[in-house]
A and B are shown apart, each in its own frame.
Chain A
Amino acid sequence: MIEVQHLTKKYGDLLAVDDLSFKVDRGKIWGLLGPNAAGKTSTMRILTGYLSATEGKASVGDFDVFEEPSKVKKITGYLPEDVPLYPEMTVQGFIHFVSEIKQIAPSKRKEAVNKVIEIVGLEPVRKRLIKNISRGFKQRVGLAQAMVHDPQVLILDEPTIGLDPAQIIEIRKLIKSLKGERTIILSTHILAEVTQVCDGVVIINEGKLMASGSLEELVSSFNDKEGVFIKLKRAGQEALPLFSSIPGVKEVSWDENGIKIEWTKGLDVRDEIIKIIADKDLGLLEMRPLSMGIEELYLKVISGGVEQ
């Protein structure tokens, strides 16, 4: 649905996007992750036709962003980082104006406006001036303007920035509910958001692609070790050597009042571990697999330690 090939954007000498390529399938939500000034916003602006690219290709739907920009704009909804709002307009008036410039047929405008107001929950403020509504509602108006023409593709630049925790949860729910027919790209700093909302991620740093893929794929490809965390009733640090002698175990360490046992990928030594615990009567309280969190993955990717 969305494809970017060898995209490069230079502002003068500054390289904002450097030979970036990725692909997002229809009906998926993908997160665009990266530190500040990584090139996330530039990439989104190019996809929406706001900026040109220095080199490379990009397509949305079946259309080339540079060859047929107006067709791309018709099927794309865009929420920029700074939500574009006219403070002197009413919520309803503004969304109606957007429905006009997004070229919704006059007979369908009213319906489209009412529908989107309902979806994003703007009913309580529909007649108020935009300058007088809260930050959370403004963000919703931003989402409403991006969605009013029922686009197949949504591009959301930090959709939850500046909201309070309750609002963040609501907006995330809203975005998740849009999945299915729509393909969504969202950029964010909040890593938890990615695990909760997205099917896959594109991680970029200094304009370069560091990794891309579904979350499971990435975690398993960046994880070179597997392991478990166990908590024992009748043993402390002194039990570490017991486990390090198991063949295949790479590392045993004491962590958070428990024992972390890691082994080479592909092996599974859980049986042996259980056997030892049972034989020595150590009393197993807890045992859970060690998995790499998104934070760990992100830091690993960004630090450049591992490149795909």
Chain B
Amino acid sequence: MKNIWAICKKEVKTYFTSPIAYVVISVFLVLVGFFFYNLIWWFNTQSLQLARNPYYFQQLNINQMVYSPLFHNTSIILLLMIPILSMRLFSEEKKIKTEELLYTSPISVTQIILGKYIASLLVVFIMLFLSGILSIFTFSYGNPELVPILNGYLGLLLLGAAFMSIGIFFSSLTENQIIAAVLTFGALLLFWVLNWASYSAAGMWKDVLNYLSIFQHFDNMTQGILDTTDVIYYLSFIFLGLFLTHSVIQSRRWR
């Protein structure tokens, strides 16, 4: 545990001594803020228009009309940002030859991977936490339900964690950060569009593709539904990503 913490501390420091974390977090917040503003504006105009019709006015729901689409938009921004955060995790160690120090120290590969992974998740957590501050406006001027919002953020965190596990895997494959980022981005996009393919598939394949699609599971969570299947899906996704990373690193040493 101490070893994981040592690696994690070092990684967090590296994120924040270079401009990467600041740039990614700022861009992320600007984009989320932009979407949030537009969604609120749209919700406001709808409210004004429907104010004269009590039946429809009752149907207006800020959770569904603002938060649900906001979570979807945020997930796409995460898809663009995570590869930037994950790309240097292992490729840089390889490039500047510090991996020789790590792998000849009395810490295990698993501890190194977990330390790095947890550090990168902390950055994602900070990003999401800061974007959550926007909700001050909705809570002070409206009455949204808290639990579905927290559920949505949990979904975003799990989604980010799953993305990051793919990112760390590709980072372990190459010493070139750009290649790591592009491969991660490509893989994430592919997982995103998997459920598009499921529309044209039939029978068992439809179910399989639907189950594999990373966004299908996210959908439930934006609606405020916390299903253990979705959580298990994400956790196994993360496990798979980290396991593959471990295999890549080990195989390189045994080749």
Fill in one digit per residue for B81-98: 1 if any A CB lies within 8 Å of its CB, else 0.
000000000000000111
Report Cα–Cα, A224/B160, bound state, in Å. 72
In this assembly, does A101 line the interface, its C-beta being within 8 Å of a C-beta of chain B? Answer: yes
Asked if B7 and A85 make an inter-chain contact with CB atoms under 8 angstroms apart, the answer reads no
Assess whether A101 is in contact with B97, with CB atoms less than 8 Å apart. no
Contact A86–B96 (Cβ < 8 Å):
yes
Interface residues of A in 85-133 (CB under 8 A from B): 85-89, 97-98, 100-103
Q: Mark A74-91 against chain B: 1 for CB-CB distance below 8 A, else 0.
A: 101010101111111100
Asked whether, in the complex, the Cβ of A78 is within 8 Å of the Cβ of B255, the reply is: no
**Is A145 part of the binding interface, using a Cβ–Cβ cutoff of 8 Å?**
yes
| Interface size range of chain B in the complex | 20 to 34
B140 sits at the interface (CB 8 A)? no
Interface of A is mostly: loop
Looking at the assembled complex, report how far the CB atom of B89 sits from the nearest CB atom of chain A, in whole angstroms. 14
A-B contact count (CB 8 A): 68
Q: Flag whether A70 is at the interface (Cβ < 8 A).
A: yes
Measured between beta carbons, the chain A residues less than 8 angstroms from B97 are: 80, 82-84
Among B2, B7, B17, B106, the one with the most A-chain Cβ atoms within 10 Å of its Cβ is: B106
Given A11-B255, A88-B17, A70:B106 Cβ within 8 A:
yes
User: B101: nearest residue on chain A (CB-CB)?
Assistant: A84
Of B17, B96, B103, B107, which is within 8 A of A85 by CB? B96
Complex CA gap A45/B249 in Å reads: 15
Q: Is there contact, CB below 8 Å, between A50 and B104?
A: yes
Given the complex, which residues of A lie within 8 Å of B104, measured CB to CB? Answer: 48-50, 73, 76, 78, 80
Q: A85, A88, A101: which contacts B14 (Cβ < 8 A)?
A: A88
Q: Does B6 lie within 8 Å of A101, measured CB to CB?
A: yes
Q: A100-B6, A101-B6 are in contact. Are A82 and B106 (CB under 8 A)?
A: no
Which B residues touch A84, using CB under 8 A?
96-101
**Measured CA separation A101–B98 after assembly (Å):** 13
Contacting B3 at CB < 8 Å: which of A11, A85, A87, A103?
A103
Please state if B255 and A97 are interface contacts (CB–CB under 8 Å).
Answer: no
B254 to chain A minimum Cβ distance, whole angstroms, is 5
A190 in the interface (beta carbon within 8 A): no
Instruction: Report B12 CB to chain A, min CB distance, Å.
Output: 12
Chain B minimum-CB-distance residue to A70: B106
Residues of B that sit less than 8 Å from A by CB: 2-3, 6-7, 10, 13-14, 17-18, 96-108, 253-255
Can you show 12 pairs from A to B with CB atoms below 8 A apart?
A52-B253, A78-B100, A80-B101, A85-B98, A86-B14, A88-B14, A98-B101, A100-B3, A101-B6, A101-B105, A101-B107, A145-B101
